[in-house]
Structure 1
Amino acid sequence: MNKIELLAPAGSIESLIAAINRGADAIYLGGNKFSARAYASNFDNETMMKALDYAHSYGVKVYVTINTLLKESELKEALKYVGYLYEIGVDALIIQDVGLISLIKSVYSDFELHASTQMTVHNGEGALYFTEKGLQRIVLSRELSLDEVKYISKDLGIETEIFVHGALCVCYSGQCLMSSMIGGRSGNRGRCAQPCRMQYTLKGEKLGEKKAYLLSPKDMCLIDDVEAIIDSGTSSLKVEGRMKRPEYVSGVVDTYRNAIDKVLYKKKFDLNKGRRELFQLFNREGFSKAYIYKNIGKDMMSYNFPKNTGVFIGKALEKGEIILEESVSLGDGIRYGEAGFILSKILLNGKEVKEAFKGDKVKLFPSGGYKKGNSLYKTSDKKLYDDLKEYIKPYKKKITLRGELEFKINSPLILKTKFNGKEYEVAGDMVEVATNAPLSADRIEECLKKSGEIPYKFEKIDFNVFEDGFIKISSLNNLRRELFEKILKGEVSSFRRKRIQGTKEKKNIKFGENLGYVYSCINKNQLKALLEDECVKNIALDISYTKHKEFLTKDDFKNIKDKNIYFMVPNIIKKEFKNIVKQIDEVIPYIKGLITSNVGIIRLYRDKLFIIGDYKLNIFNNEGLEFYCEDIDIPTLSLELNRKEIKELMKNVNSNVAIGIYGKTELMVSEYCPIGSIFGNKSSKKECNGACIKDSFTLIDRKNEGFKVLGDNSCRSHILNSLALNLVEQIDELKSFNISTFRVDFKDESYDEVKIILDEIKKGEKNKDRNYTKGHYRRGVE
């Protein structure tokens, strides 16, 4: 078995201490800025250094997250912050923004970089693309199966990291624009408002409707699969939870530490007890194994309750009594429905007790809220949390050392030890002739085995020289403290670095031709409208939906004359990767190029075809443009940029750049399909009945906004914005910013609607009878 890293979250110094005490090998945390958990406590510079020194004193690595997209105006400050982190000895950075990656590789070339899961690396070619760009580790998308993890980690030999426990996003990380487009709080900027945890109604035109928390996944828990995960060749098992309490971190890390050690070192571990503890700490209607065994149905969702469900303790009977299914104690948190209380009194057979057990018939107080028939759940266990609190104390964990002591009369005390391959030695006071009873070796060893507020402790002292002499106990204490502090200083200082300003390397920028307008479509009626318009020169065909009637197929490429044709390639490509490559190769004689944001496809075709990068590449700054312009001909800017930010970004651009001016923005793309799970009865044991082919579906939120849901050939779901982006009246302004290519994407528009949009573009003004959105063009994102 290979060495495996247990990587723990820390949203506070207390969580970091708890994780180290319970056996984490590495910690990931965020600073005050540029972190994908902007609402966690996070670490200011002073606390960051203390946390780093504390971790390094235990030999635990620290990875800092700068896993958000950065605006042009933020790059300078971000790079300065990176310099600080480099200087104080951070082990690695977890990054999303490719522009920042480019700058760091130029300035701090030896700084280890990890590709955040926000970079949506989900296939082997994509993983190779970023490792070739200098990233040492890839945090894989959560959507990968165990076989896919094994292929990337073992077969391709790439260092990977995967999530094994905690909250699960329903959309591919880095691809979600739902929070951003609905409320201006961008998940790509660490400010997700979690619209996936809201109630929705999925409505079919023929098949009826269903209301529930349709986009809310259960937390993932892979505690039963640790051996298989280790065997996959991944390097790091990651626990999610920077927003969770230190007690949660303590309990989860301890459980996974024991499970890993059971596999690697055959240590004893009660797996059933571990499961129960994880369930009590936090669950949403139980756990799922996420996508590790390709389960993408309703079994992985918490349709009824999106928060911590707790552990079921029983149903309320007459007079508020309950026959307990689980034990309870004073101070436990109890939930019924959306309400709850802290347990302040327990009555058992008319007498007050501090705790009660399974099978006991009790009454819980305050009892006024819950009624007969209510199901009650224990959401927090005071006894468990009190036990876990013990591990939040600093220096509870000790690193044991073996010491060597010279105790020679008329010579100074000499204390030595070895740690991390280095020798440490200190000299103390003179050993005197004993006027009365000399100090015994046992008494000396007992004194030196003390520890205190320090990570280290002696388990044994070997005496190189021992003579019957005397020295004050305080001298022994001082000697021990001095040696431990020397080790601490030596270990911590060994991670410090000096800032060395590198020179930004000049990149080989592709310069694609000015295309003017590029129109994409997904069905035959849209294509018909485009072909009939003489002004339309560039058409991209998206054949991701051929299982639906009247949608495009590869044969359509052969029948188009006098137009420049592009193949619009899916942004997410997993098991079907080889098939997509085959489709591209078959139509190469008929196409001018590709449109995609899949970096695996970009890697394969960057030297073979003209490539337009799609907006899901998340290009936020000029450095990001340069990063991708080595490999693509025309990059499309992120739709999360506003007018001012686009103008600022484009000031010094020396390549052609595209921007989306019309289309229903894809808010989510997911392996989970709400249509198949609700109307297709898809679960881990049942195949989908193809409901998406039989009807048209809309997801309706609490404000009665409707979002079209499309299912593609790979049974992924695509949720589109309720209103189409329309910037036709801003085209002249965008041209003044040096934008040269304009993207128009049709998804659910009819033939007539396509004609209307084409007419609007020619006139440069919107149809007043139709509702559109300007997206972020005016407002921007936080």
Structure 2
Amino acid sequence: MNKIELLAPAGSMESLIAAINNGADAIYLGGNKFSARAYASNFDNETMMKAVDYAHSYNVKVYVTINTILKQSELKEALKYAGYLYEIGVDAIIIQDLGLVKLIRDVYPDFELHASTQMTIHNAEGALYFREKGMQRIVLSRELTVDEIKYISKDLGIETEIFVHGALCVCYSGQCLMSSMIGGRSGNRGRCAQPCRMQYTLKGENFGERKAYLLSPKDTCFIDDMDAIIKSGTSSLKVEGRMKKPEYVAGVTRNYRKAIDKVLVNTKFDLQRGRQELAQLFNREGFAKAYLYKNVGKDMMSYNYPKNTGVYIGQVSNSGEVKLESSVSLGDGIRFNDDGFTLSKILNNNNEVKEAFKGETVKLFPTGGYKKGYKLYKMSDKKLYDELNDDLKPYKRKINLTGEIEFKVNAPLCIKAKYNKKEYRVYGEMVEEATNKPLTRERVEEALRKSGEIPYKFDKIIFDVFDDGFIRISSINNLRRELFEKILKEEISSYRRKRTEGTIKEYNAKCQENLGYIYSCITKDQLKALLEDDKAQNIALDIFFSRQKHALNKNDLKNLYETSKDKNIYLKVPSIIKQEFNSIVKIIDELKSYIKGIITSNAGIIKIYKDKLFIIGDYKLNIFNKEAAGFYAQDVDIPFLSLELNRKEIKELMKHTNCNMGINIYGKTELMISEYCPMGSTFGNKSSKKECSGVCMKDNFKLIDRMNESFTVLGDNSCRSYILNSISTNLIDEMEELKSFNISNFRVDFKDESYDEVKDVLNQITRKAKNENNKYTKGHYKRGVE
């Protein structure tokens, strides 16, 4: 069976130490810039070097996250930072921005790059595409099943990494614009405000409404599935948690280390105890297997409580006592509703005890806050946390070495050891003839077996020579330290690199097309309005929303081709394509003779059709800078810019590129794309064991937030859900300025608009109607994101 890496998070030096002490093979962490966990403690340059050296002293790899999209003005600094990481010996960078990918490939061609989950790589062709672009490892989207992971990892032989434990985003990572568009805090820039953890009301015109934490998934836990996961051929098992406490990192890492070793080397592991410990460390109404076995329903959601739930310990009876469902001890943190207390006294049969166990009936103090009927939860386990706190000590974990000793009278004391196929040897003071009492082997061994603040220790000592002689014990201690420090210094320095910088190259760009306006639509009414406008020459049909009323289909596209020869017809292809990939390829091939090209941001589709069809790159490509535009411009005919750029940033980017770029000037932004369907899960009783009941085809649904903003929810042909912004972005009044920036391609994107609303927007473009700003937003055009 393949060797597999356990990859642990580190938001601080304590977490890094905790992970290494508990058997992590690799650590991932962020610097104080360009990290998708901007609010974690993270590491400045000095601490980063210490962290890298500490990990490398244990042969533990270090991957640094530069997994945000970068503005044009940030590229130079990000590349310089990558150079620093290269120099201090970081093993790989986990990266999202394709502009920085291109620059690092040019300047540091031997620096290993891992494609972040923020790149939304979720099908085999997408994984192949980015491997061909120089990504050594692909961090797969969390939405893949075990069979899909196996196909990409084992069957195609691609090095992959998957998340096995921790918080789960309800939206595909890298595709979420909800926090960005609602509050200006971009998930793509590491500043997500987690709107998914808020309460929402899902309202149907016919089905009624339900209020709950409808977008809040349980945390992922694959501890029971290690055998299947390891057999899938994936290379690395990743624990989420850079924002979590060091004790959490310690506990989760040790349990997954044991679970992996149970499969690989048949060591013992109490799985039930492991599950309990993981739940105590953090859970949201239990755990889910995410999408590992196509679980896409309500079973994976924490509808009632979006934060750590704790472990249920029982319900308060009429007498104020609790029959325990789980053990408790003094110092534990107890929760009821949104309040809580630290357990200071336990009465069992009126006897004061330090701890009580499952099945016992006890009274817990202080009693002032909770009442009869209240459910109590243990939020923190003092005994567990005290135990895990011991794992935060530096150099607790030791690497065992065999020492060979020459203790020869009238010769210098010599200590030898082999490590990583190298032999190390040090010489100390002369061993003298014993004038009184010679040193015993046991006394010399005792001194040699000490370790201290260093990773190594002797677990076995061989005396090549041992005479009756004498030397000061302090001399033995000093020589032992000298040997260990020599090994440590050489190990650390072996990872260091010199910056031999390559030359930044220019791309050969395809993007020289000026199409003007490109309109997309999903319903027959929208298409009807477009056909009534003579100036709407470029029309893209999205035929993948057949669950919507009056949805367009293949025949509509073919009929349009036959009846409107003056129109240029495009096919809008989904951003997310998983199990239906081959069927969508068949649809594209069937329609090739009817269309001028396709609109997509799906890397797998781009890989297949880059030399066969005209491709318009959708805004979900997350193009934020000139180099990212150039990356895609090799394969995409018109790359469209990210919706998160402001006017100043658009202008700056366009100064530096010779590409004819595009920008969306109208449409309801796709805030989230999810495999989870809130409609079927809420009103159709959809769980992981029940099939879809097609609720989205029977009603129109809105998701309403606490500010009473209303977001349309759509379901596509593959049962994927889309949450649209509550208000359309409209930059029609900024057209002249955008043209002055040398932008020549403009998308007008219709999704849930009526015939009349489409006509109104078309009239605004032709200046027959005014853009009434109170109906629209300018998105990030004026404000931008941090």
TM-score, length of structure 2 as denominator length: 0.99
Deviations for 1:447-480, whole angstroms, at most 9, x for unmatched residues? 1111111100001111222222111111100110
Cα distance change of structure 1 residues 749 and 25 upon mapping to structure 2, 3 Å threshold:
same
Cα distance change of structure 1 residues 18 and 766 upon mapping to structure 2, 3 Å threshold:
farther
Instruction: Give the drift of 1:764.
Output: 8.2
1:507-518 paired onto structure 2 within 5 Å = 507-518=507-518
The amino acid of 2:381's aligned partner reads: D
The amino acid of 1:723's aligned partner reads: I
Q: Which residue of 2 aligns with 1:700?
A: 704
**2:695 is aligned with 1:691:** yes
Q: Which residue of 1 aligns with 2:543?
A: 543
Matched-pair contact (CA < 8 Å) for 1:729–1:764 = no
Corresponding residue SS for 2:689: coil
Matched-pair contact (CA < 8 Å) for 2:547–2:715 = no
2:715 pairs, out of 700, 711, 718, with 711
CA distance in 1, matches of 2:688, 2:260: 27
CA distance in 1, matches of 2:95, 2:42: 16
2:757 pairs, out of 753, 758, 762, with 753
Q: Which residue of 2 aligns with 1:435?
A: 435
Matched-pair contact (CA < 8 Å) for 2:118–2:173 = yes
**2:263 is aligned with 1:263:** yes
CA distance in 1, matches of 2:25, 2:541: 48
Indicate the percent of aligned positions where both proteins have the same amino acid: 75
Instruction: Give the drift of 1:496.
Output: 0.7
Corresponding residue SS for 2:257: helix
2:726 pairs, out of 713, 722, 732, with 722
1:491-640 paired onto structure 2 within 5 Å = 491-560=491-560, 561=564, 562-640=566-644
Instruction: Give the drift of 1:213.
Output: 0.2
Matched-pair contact (CA < 8 Å) for 1:176–1:669 = yes
Cα distance change of structure 1 residues 510 and 764 upon mapping to structure 2, 3 Å threshold:
farther
The amino acid of 2:648's aligned partner reads: K
**2:686 is aligned with 1:682:** yes
CA distance in 2, matches of 1:320, 1:107: 69
Q: Which residue of 2 aligns with 1:482?
A: 482
Deviations for 1:681-709, whole angstroms, at most 9, x for unmatched residues? 11012112111000000000000000000
Corresponding residue SS for 1:695: coil
Q: Which residue of 1 aligns with 2:63?
A: 63
Matched-pair contact (CA < 8 Å) for 2:216–2:302 = yes
Instruction: Give the drift of 1:346.
Output: 2.1
Corresponding residue SS for 1:567: strand
CA distance in 2, matches of 1:433, 1:467: 9
CA distance in 2, matches of 1:414, 1:769: 83
CA distance in 2, matches of 1:558, 1:687: 32
The Cα RMSD (Å) is: 1.0
1:358-397 paired onto structure 2 within 5 Å = 358-397=358-397
Instruction: Give the drift of 1:660.
Output: 0.4
Corresponding residue SS for 2:766: helix
CA distance in 2, matches of 1:516, 1:89: 48
Matched-pair contact (CA < 8 Å) for 1:663–1:725 = yes
CA distance in 2, matches of 1:38, 1:691: 39
Cα distance change of structure 1 residues 628 and 92 upon mapping to structure 2, 3 Å threshold:
same
1:75-474 paired onto structure 2 within 5 Å = 75-474=75-474
Corresponding residue SS for 1:85: helix
Which stretches in structure 1 are left out of the alignment for 5+ residues? none
Matched-pair contact (CA < 8 Å) for 2:163–2:240 = yes
Matched-pair contact (CA < 8 Å) for 1:682–1:688 = yes
Instruction: Give the drift of 1:403.
Output: 1.0
Corresponding residue SS for 1:504: coil
CA distance in 2, matches of 1:379, 1:7: 26
**2:777 is aligned with 1:773:** yes
The amino acid of 2:420's aligned partner reads: N
CA distance in 1, matches of 2:15, 2:74: 29
Using the TM superposition, name which of 326-335 and 204-213 deviates more: 326-335
Matched-pair contact (CA < 8 Å) for 1:404–1:461 = yes
The amino acid of 1:780's aligned partner reads: G
Corresponding residue SS for 1:303: coil
Cα distance change of structure 1 residues 566 and 277 upon mapping to structure 2, 3 Å threshold:
same
Deviations for 1:395-436, whole angstroms, at most 9, x for unmatched residues? 110000001111111111111111011111111001111111
Which stretches in structure 2 are left out of the alignment for 5+ residues? none
Instruction: Give the drift of 1:360.
Output: 2.5
Instruction: Give the drift of 1:770.
Output: 5.6
Using the TM superposition, name which of 170-179 and 770-779 deviates more: 770-779
Matched-pair contact (CA < 8 Å) for 1:681–1:687 = no
Corresponding residue SS for 1:17: helix
Instruction: Give the drift of 1:359.
Output: 2.5
Corresponding residue SS for 1:224: helix
Corresponding residue SS for 1:748: coil
Matched-pair contact (CA < 8 Å) for 1:729–1:766 = no
CA distance in 2, matches of 1:261, 1:558: 57
Using the TM superposition, name which of 311-320 and 766-775 deviates more: 766-775
Instruction: Give the drift of 1:369.
Output: 1.4
Q: Which residue of 1 aligns with 2:30?
A: 30
Matched-pair contact (CA < 8 Å) for 1:731–1:764 = no
Deviations for 1:706-760, whole angstroms, at most 9, x for unmatched residues? 0000000000000000000000000000000111100000000011110000000
Matched-pair contact (CA < 8 Å) for 1:445–1:460 = no
CA distance in 2, matches of 1:326, 1:584: 57
Corresponding residue SS for 2:376: strand
1:763 pairs, out of 746, 762, 767, with 767
CA distance in 1, matches of 2:285, 2:768: 52
Matched-pair contact (CA < 8 Å) for 1:728–1:765 = no
CA distance in 1, matches of 2:71, 2:657: 15
Corresponding residue SS for 2:672: strand
Deviations for 1:74-130, whole angstroms, at most 9, x for unmatched residues? 111111111111110000000000000000000111000000000000000000010
1:734 pairs, out of 721, 733, 738, with 738
CA distance in 2, matches of 1:676, 1:593: 34
CA distance in 2, matches of 1:145, 1:651: 43
Using the TM superposition, name which of 596-605 and 539-548 deviates more: 539-548
2:667 pairs, out of 663, 666, 673, with 663
Matched-pair contact (CA < 8 Å) for 2:167–2:219 = yes
Matched-pair contact (CA < 8 Å) for 2:324–2:359 = yes
Matched-pair contact (CA < 8 Å) for 2:9–2:27 = yes
Using the TM superposition, name which of 267-276 and 701-710 deviates more: 267-276
CA distance in 2, matches of 1:47, 1:225: 36
The amino acid of 1:536's aligned partner reads: A
Matched-pair contact (CA < 8 Å) for 1:728–1:766 = no
CA distance in 2, matches of 1:327, 1:87: 50
CA distance in 1, matches of 2:190, 2:368: 40
Matched-pair contact (CA < 8 Å) for 1:710–1:719 = yes
CA distance in 1, matches of 2:649, 2:774: 28
Matched-pair contact (CA < 8 Å) for 2:573–2:600 = yes
CA distance in 2, matches of 1:652, 1:77: 17
Instruction: Give the drift of 1:319.
Output: 4.4
The amino acid of 1:745's aligned partner reads: D
CA distance in 2, matches of 1:735, 1:253: 53
